[in-house]
């Protein structure tokens, strides 16, 4: 079957019957202007003369005459049996292609509320973002079992009428909540009941809901520094006050936090694998944090974002599993273990009532997350592919980390000091003191490498010479090529 070009809508046209200009002239002028201002673009199909005459309540003859004139002038092309099209040549008339006739740039008329975005996060706004070495937090997409996914997806689509395809079920597809709870209980020691869980569109939505629902203007929040900008932005958006807490070997410096901000309402932590430094919060510190939260009525937001990928030791149980007082809200995502593009994550609340309250808030914004994807993931987990995929990727990522460390040692000598991690998908690599990481990262970007700096994740405590290198999302060859590019960049500086 031949390709059918969809017909364009000419809603910008208005015909005034009792106006000075004739109907012919009004239609002619407006269509021509439509071409000039880019409303009508090369290759698009016009409505038929019959449809135009019905829509604008004008004679078909008038429409035919205008079409004919515009065809003679080269704006339109008539194709027998197919209709009238905007000519291929119009691009040269259209202002969107022509610098000389482009309209003046006007200043923006709106003032956006500040969203607290820092530079590290602005990259996520790009619509053309591609994955380049050494982008952090991206999985090795080429190793995703697409065939299996397609098979499960086809089966789910065949039985789609069994799903809840209306607006309800904002808490998330119950079988998926059950499957995720089982997974979290077994692999992360999370205390989980499907009724306490809410499926969300990624961790960032979870963090925004938390800030929106729990924070009042000026509420103090302990924030890991350096830390995840998704959390800082969410807290700032809803009026919370960021209280930066330095990271020490044992995790967040709790002495500092309790001394400087004793009235904090919430603490954001990544205890299994601190983002981005990679430290694991010591058991003693976990107990201290939980006791503080209990005594001071503080919420703990545990972002357990990539702890499935732990390499040389057994997984560290989640903080949530140790919480006996109901202070921890657990946040997890499927971006690292399945695909970031799925935009799915989950929250586990201490009580059903709290899960219900958050469900109501989510339904105000958008209702349920994509139910078809939820059903596919449920099958993916139920049939054992999820845990198989995680196990497989764990082996590949461990090797990728070793490879990257070796490549750095081989090609960059001592100019970059990698700090391999026990868990996760990136590590920190230190430049020598005095070498500015931002300058190196900016130069590397010009060569097509996406390298973030520790500074981009700092709230208050700066680390001038730390680079963040993701190792999970790339093949050995990609990493080797990229390291040689990075070598050239470093050669220019020291
Ligand atoms: C600390 C942390 N939490 C969560 C996420 C995942 O966010 P999302 O679920 O919105 O993809 C990331 C991704 O980079 C992260 O670094």
pLDDT tens by residue, 99-136: 444 555 677 777 766 665 555 555 554 544 578 899 99
Is the fold of 125-133+388-493 the same as that of 159-383? no
What are the beta bridge partners of residue 330? 302, 348
Q: pLDDT tens digit string along 369-390? A: 999 999 999 999 999 999 999 9
- The preferred substitution site among 139, 141, 200, 204 for testing ligand 1, maximizing ligand atoms within 8 Å of CB, is 204
Query: Positive or negative CA dihedral for 11, 16, 19, 20?
Result: positive
Structure confidence by residue, pLDDT tens digits, 224-242: 999 999 999 999 999 999 9
Q: Please give the pLDDT value at position 374.
A: 97
Mutate to test the pocket of ligand 1, among 137, 180, 231, 271 (most ligand atoms within 8 A of CB): 137
Q: Tell me, what's the pLDDT at 97? A: 47
Q: How far is the CA of 333 from the centre of ligand 1 (A)?
A: 7
Domains of the chain by residue range: 1-106, 125-133+388-493, 159-383
Q: The pTM is what?
A: 0.86
Residue 218 has pLDDT above 70, yes or no: yes
Q: Which numeric CATH code is attached to 159-383?
A: 3.40.640.10
Determine the Cα–Cα distance for residues 309 and 387; give it in Å rounded to an integer: 11
Residue nearest to atom 3 of ligand 1 (CA): 305
| DSSP state at residue 206 | H
Q: Check whether 180 has a pLDDT greater than 90.
A: yes
Residue from 234, 335, 342 to probe ligand 1 pocket by mutation (most atoms less than 8 Å from CB) = 335
Fold for 125-133+388-493, please state it.
3.90.1150
SS3 270: coil
CB distance 228 to ligand 1 below 6 Å: yes
Q: Does ligand 1 come within 6 angstroms of the Cβ of 226? A: no
Task: Report how far residue 119's alpha carbon sits from residue 313's, in angstroms, rounded to the nearest whole number.
Answer: 34
Give the whole-angstrom CA distance, residue 442 versus residue 447. Answer: 9
In this model, does residue 168 exceed pLDDT 50?
yes
pLDDT band at 17 (very low <50, low <70, confident <90, very high): confident
Summarised one tens digit per residue, pLDDT across range 458-483 is 989 887 899 999 999 999 999 999 99
What per-residue confidence (pLDDT) applies to 100? 43
CA gap 269, 251 in Å, rounded: 9
Task: Give the DSSP H/E element, type plus range, for residue 72.
Answer: helix 60-72
Is the shortest distance between the CB of 191 and ligand 1 below 6 Å?
no
DSSP 392: H
CB 202 near ligand 1, within 6 Å: yes
Distance 231 CA to ligand 1 centre (A): 9
3-state secondary structure 251-269: EECHHHHHHHCCCCCEEEE
E strand map for 304-369: 328-333, 345-348
Residue nearest to atom 14 of ligand 1 (CA): 137
Please check the confidence at residue 81 and state whether its pLDDT lies above 70: yes
Residue that wins the pLDDT comparison between 87 and 113: 87
pLDDT in tens, 247-292: 999 999 999 999 999 999 999 999 999 999 999 999 999 999 999 9
The per-residue pLDDT for 475 is 96
Per-state percent for the chain, helix, strand, coil, to nearest 5: 45, 15, 40
Q: Is the pLDDT of residue 151 over 70?
A: yes
Whether 2 shows a pLDDT value over 60: the answer reads no
**pLDDT band, very low/low/confident/very high, at 88 (cuts 50, 70, 90):** confident
With a CB cutoff of 8 Å and minimum separation 6, the contacts of 443 are 489, 492, 493
Distance CA 457, CA 461 (A): 10
121 CB within 6 A, ligand 1: no
Q: Residues 6 or more apart from 308 whose CB is under 8 A from it?
A: 187, 315, 336, 337, 390, 394
d(CA 321, CA 191): 5
Read off φ and ψ for residue 320, nearest 5 degrees.
-55, -40
Q: 17 CA distance to ligand 1 centroid (A)?
A: 58
User: Cα(202) to centroid of ligand 1, in Å?
Assistant: 8
Distance 418 CA to ligand 1 centre (A): 22
Candidate CATH numbers 3.30.470.20, 1.10.10.10, 3.40.50.1100, 2.40.50.100; the one for domain 1-106: 1.10.10.10
DSSP result, 8-60: PP-TT----TTSSS-HHHHHHHHHHHHHHTTSS-TTPBPPPHHHHHHHHT--H
Looking from the CA of residue 333, the nearest atom of ligand 1 is: 9
């Amino acid at each position: 079957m031949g390709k059918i070009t969809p017909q364009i809508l000419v809603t910008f046209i208005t015909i005034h019957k009792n106006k000075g200009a004739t109907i012919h002239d009004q239609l002619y002028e407006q269509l021509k202007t439509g071409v000039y201002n880019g409303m009508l673009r090369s290759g698009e199909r016009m409505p038929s003369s019959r449809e135009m005459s019905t829509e604008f309540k004008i004679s078909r003859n008038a429409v035919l005459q205008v079409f004919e004139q515009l065809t003679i002038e080269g704006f339109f092309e008539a194709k027998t049996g197919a209709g009238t099209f905007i000519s291929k040549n119009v691009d040269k008339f259209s202002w969107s292609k022509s610098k000389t006739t482009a309209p003046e740039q006007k200043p923006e008329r709106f003032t956006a509320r500040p969203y607290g975005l820092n530079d590290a996060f602005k990259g996520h706004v790009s619509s053309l973002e591609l994955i380049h070495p050494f982008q952090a937090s991206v999985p090795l997409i080429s190793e995703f079992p697409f065939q299996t996914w397609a098979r499960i997806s086809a089966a789910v689509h065949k039985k789609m009428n069994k799903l809840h395809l209306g607006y309800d079920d904002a808490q998330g597809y119950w079988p998926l909540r059950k499957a995720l709870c089982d997974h979290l209980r077994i692999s992360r020691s999370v205390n989980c009941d499907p009724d306490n869980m809410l499926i969300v569109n990624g961790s960032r939505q979870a963090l925004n809901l938390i800030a929106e629902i729990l924070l009042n203007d000026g509420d103090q929040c302990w924030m890991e520094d350096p830390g995840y900008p998704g959390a800082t932005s969410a807290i700032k958006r809803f009026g919370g006050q960021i209280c930066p807490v330095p990271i020490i070997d044992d995790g967040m410096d709790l002495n500092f936090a309790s001394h400087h901000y004793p009235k904090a309402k919430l603490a954001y932590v990544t205890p299994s694998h601190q983002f981005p430094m990679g430290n694991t919060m010591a058991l003693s510190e976990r107990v201290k944090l939980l006791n503080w939260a209990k005594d001071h009525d503080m919420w703990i937001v545990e972002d357990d974002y990539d702890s499935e990928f732990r390499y040389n030791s057994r997984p560290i149980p989640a903080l949530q599993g140790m919480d006996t007082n109901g202070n921890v809200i657990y946040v997890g995502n499927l971006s690292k273990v399945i695909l970031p593009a799925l935009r799915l994550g989950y929250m586990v609340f201490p009580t059903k009532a709290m899960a219900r309250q958050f469900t109501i808030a989510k339904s105000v914004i958008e209702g349920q997350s994509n139910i078809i994807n939820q059903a596919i993931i449920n099958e993916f987990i139920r049939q054992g592919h999820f845990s198989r995929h995680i196990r497989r990727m764990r082996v590949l990522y461990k090797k990728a980390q070793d490879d990257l460390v070796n490549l750095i040692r081989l090609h960059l000598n001592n100019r970059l000091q990698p700090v391999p991690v026990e868990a996760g998908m990136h590590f920190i690599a230190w430049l020598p003191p005095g070498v500015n990481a931002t300058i190196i990262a900016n130069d590397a970007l010009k060569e097509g490498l996406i390298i973030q700096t520790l500074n981009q994740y700092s709230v208050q405590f700066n680390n001038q010479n730390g680079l963040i290198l993701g190792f999970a999302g790339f093949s050995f060859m990609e990493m080797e090529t990229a390291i040689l590019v990075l070598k050239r960049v470093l050669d220019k500086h020291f």
